[in-house]
Amino acid sequence: MIETRTDVEARGRRILVARDSRLSTCDALVQGLEPLIEDVELVEAYSVEAARSWARGGPFDLCLVCLDLPPAPRGAARLAKELCARNQRVVLITRSLRWLPADDLELRALPWIVPEADPTSVLPFLQKDAAPAASQTRGRAKTLPPRELPAANER
């Protein structure tokens, strides 16, 4: 199931939010974006396939990918990498990067926000000078303390 606003033809900004519709963890963040950003088309995709389909339809100014997207976290991680390969700006929504493979530096370099983040925390990623791909975001991404790295049996 894909939901998008259809009451307005063209919007100035396009944001893709890929998340699990069964979970309410991202609700406040997503619901806070539309009134905050003028001329926004907010597209919610509730599966990896739905997000891929939307991405094939044209570029987005920002793609928010929740690591809870099934099959979590691998599905979301694959989607994030695919979107980066399309030169889309990607921000992960997660409480921790511990579920990402320790050796996947591209994904770990992506910026991320917690699901409970204030919607205004998304605004800097919509700026024209925001980095479009993981390889250019290293300075902007949160860094993990060593204790959050996955244990050998979690890789």
- Tokens coding 114: 């917690």
CATH of the structural domain 13-123, one choice from 3.20.20.70, 3.40.50.2300, 3.30.1310.10, 3.90.180.10: 3.40.50.2300
Q: Give the C-alpha separation, 119 to 72, whole Å.
A: 23
Report the predicted TM-score, pTM, of the whole model to 2 decimal places: 0.78
pLDDT tens digits, residue range 32-53? 999 999 999 999 999 999 999 9
pLDDT tens digits, residue range 105-148? 999 999 999 999 999 999 999 987 765 554 433 333 343 333 34
Spans of all domains in the chain: 13-123
Q: Give the C-alpha separation, 125 to 123, whole Å.
A: 5
